[in-house]
Amino acid sequence: MELWSQVYDPLGNTLLSTLVSAIPVLVLLGGLGFFHIKAHVAAVLGLISAFAIAIFVLGMPLKMASMAAFFGGSFAVVGICWIIVNLMFLYRMTMKSGLFTVLQDSIGGITGDRRLQLVLIAFCFGAFFEGAAGGGTPVAVTGAILIGLGFSPLAASGLSLIANTAPVAYGGLGTPIIVLNSVTQNTDEYLLTLSAMVGRQLPFFSVIVPFWLVVTFCGFKRTMEIWPAILVAGISFAVPQFIISNYHGPWLVDMVGAMISMVTLAVFLKYWKPKSVMIAADGSAAGIVPYAEAAKVNHGHSKDLVIKAWTPWIILTVILFMWGLPIIKALLNQKGITYFEFEMDGLHKLVQRVAPAVATPHTEGAVLKFGFLSATGTGILISAVISGFIMGFKPREMVSQWLETMWIMRYSVLTIIAMLALGYTTRYSGMDATLGLAFANTGWLYPFFGTLIGWIGVALTGTDAGSNALFGSQQQITANKLGISPTLMAAANSSGGVMGKMIDAQSIVVASVATNYVGKEGVILRYVFWHSLALACLVGGFIMLQAYVWPFTDMVLGPAAVPH
């Protein structure tokens, strides 16, 4: 096939071209949020609209558009569905064995106050799993735990999504920052510089998010009753987040920060007690009782049983940590045996990005990379099998449980495949660049709107890494044109993107499955949408301060990270 160059203004009118390029996103989000269409149907409709616009408006060859959608769907299967199915397999086995209930009770045993349980589980515990694996893992785990503690399916899913924001940029052992570096300068030194810049933005929101979380749950007045504990949780995560990101790198930011935050909050709660305790899981004032009258928290399980309940998740954490180490990945990835790269015929190096989206025209690669053993989903499957034997499951029972999990998640898997196919179609057709260039016309307001580009990118792709891959380079090009720090705007893409994590279809589907709220994805979207937009705007405002207002500008010019 011949080389095809992307067209960013096919209708000869910037406004009309931008509106047409936004149709797939509007179909997907509008179908979920306003027309109450089932998630898999909305995702398929969004894909169909993207496919039609790519061919009939942008002039993309049929085979190229087909391969772009196929590439996205294939990546969804090996990169996301493989993770989620195996994680849900592990979760369902712990539920069937009764150990998940013990785990929930042991966490609830730290405090009986629902507000503090929410901070401890959704924010602290969720950040740890975000750092270890990402890919929907934290939402699945924390949503399921909250359900078991009595939170409603909507609250469990929505609040887990809100909590899973500030840690996202360093999720999966720093994957989004690593991807951002790969599409910008791609050097070890610049990786540390980007890590440091994001680490001068997100810590402020790591303090805000737990407050925002509890206010969403029970209102401002009830939140202020426990503000010291919330502040301790936020600061004890934000400070390590800043230090590690600035002086070590992106790899261990979330895991170490989350561990410090969990331990610090647990110790703090041993010495500080609220005047009143919220015992109702619906956040209502009727569930408030004086501390002296609150029943003493006692989960009633033996120490050995609690240890056994935590064992599957400890195994999961250890294996995921090992799977994230470069030396382990290199050992597991034996090319042609356990590691494969598939060039997408008819797409690879045939789509050309041109000015003004990029400074120098270049062709887009389209290579599906899959290491069967090194894949995060495989690590989770191994964890599940080991844990299954420990829990007393026989091989035949585990196979039955896995197949049953696949059947239960069939529509969720279809949604994720269609969503990623949509995202890749918009990327290779150039619709993403059209949307990005529209924001670039905002001039001196670009630091604000550039941040929203990252937000839209995550809403489209489902990952902060995906948003960075789509828009990281364009952010730097536009920043250079406008005389703004390119490092600031590349980092802003990632920091703004984290707030879009709660509205992407992948995260919403994971939340609905984990909380047994399948079919209510539109309800979840409406619950979190305005929180997502408001937090993204706050990040944009902060980036504006960094761009133009002292002393925030010193954060941009300050010392970069040093090699670890």
**Residue 168 domain-assigned?**
yes
Q: Are strands 276-278 and 288-290 parallel, antiparallel or unpaired?
A: antiparallel
State the Cα torsion 351-71-512-454 to the nearest 10°.
-20
By residue count, the chain amounts to 564
Task: Decide: 78 and 368 in contact? Cβ < 8 Å.
Answer: yes
In a domain, 132, yes or no: yes
| Residue whose pair of structure tokens reads 């993770």 in the numeric block | 83
Reading the block at residue 461, the tokens are 């792709």
Q: CB 334: neighbour CB atoms within 10 A?
A: 13
Q: Kindly state the DSSP code that residue 185 receives in the 8-state scheme.
A: T
In the block, tokens 């269409």 appear at 37
Looking at residue 383, its pLDDT comes to 92
What is the distance, to the nearest Å, from the Cα of residue 524 to the centroid of all Cα atoms in its chain?
16
Name the token pair of 368: 């599906």
Query: Are residues 386 and 87 in contact, defined by beta-carbon separation less than 8 angstroms?
Result: no
Please give the structure tokens belonging to residue 248.
């070590």
Under 8 Å between Cβ of 486 and 476: yes
Report DSSP letters for 324-361, one per residue. Answer: TSHHHHHHH--BTTTEEEEE-TTTTTTEEE-TTTSSS-
Q: What is the pLDDT of residue 234?
A: 97
Is 564 part of a structural domain of the chain? no
**Cα–Cα distance between 505 and 72 in angstroms, integer?**
14
For residue 559, the model assigns a pLDDT of 44
Nearest to 193 by CA among 455, 491, 435, 451: 491
CB atoms within 10 A of CB 38: 17
* pLDDT score for 57: 95
Residue 391 forms part of a structural domain: yes
Going by their DSSP bridges, the two strands 351-353 and 4-5 should be labelled as parallel
Sheet strand arrangement including 362-364: 4-5, 351-353, 362-364
Residue 533 belongs to domain spanning: 4-557
pLDDT for the residue numbered 491? 96
- pLDDT at position 485, please? 92
Nearest to 144 by CA among 164, 122, 123, 163: 122
Give the residues across from 5 on adjacent strands: 352
Asked, as a colleague might, if the bond just before 551 is cis with ω within 30 of 0, I would say yes
Q: One digit per residue, pLDDT tens: the chain, 564 residues?
A: 789 999 999 999 989 999 999 898 788 778 876 787 877 888 899 999 999 999 999 999 999 999 999 998 898 888 778 877 887 898 889 889 988 888 877 877 788 889 999 999 999 989 988 887 676 778 888 888 898 888 999 999 999 999 999 899 998 778 888 878 876 776 778 889 999 999 999 999 999 999 999 999 999 999 999 999 999 999 999 999 999 999 988 888 998 899 899 999 999 998 998 888 888 888 877 778 877 666 565 667 888 898 998 898 888 878 877 887 778 888 998 888 889 989 999 999 999 988 887 778 889 888 888 888 988 789 889 999 999 999 999 999 999 999 999 998 888 788 878 877 887 888 889 887 887 788 778 889 999 999 998 998 888 767 788 778 767 877 887 888 788 999 999 999 999 999 999 988 778 888 888 788 877 888 898 999 999 999 999 999 999 999 999 889 988 865 443 333
Cα 520 from chain centre: 20
Number of structural domains (the chain) is: 1
Contacts for 470 with CB less than 8 Å, ≥ 6 apart: 427, 432, 457, 460, 461
- The C-alpha R_g of the chain, in whole angstroms, comes to 23
Asked whether residue 288 is domain-assigned, the answer is yes
**Nearest-angstrom CA–CA distance, 82 and 370:** 11
Task: Check residue 275 and report its DSSP letter.
Answer: S
| Alpha carbons 15 and 437: distance in angstroms, whole number | 11
Q: Are strands 288-290 and 339-343 parallel, antiparallel or unpaired?
A: unpaired
Res 481: pLDDT: 76
DSSP secondary structure string for all residues of 246-289? HHT-SSSHHHHHHHHHHHHHHHHHHH---SEEE--TT--GGGEE
- Domain membership of residue 526 (yes or no) is yes
Assigned domain for 562 exists: no
Q: Distance between CA atoms of 55 and 65, rounded to whole angstroms? A: 7
Secondary structure (DSSP) of 295-320: PPP-----HHHHHHHHHHHHHHHHHH
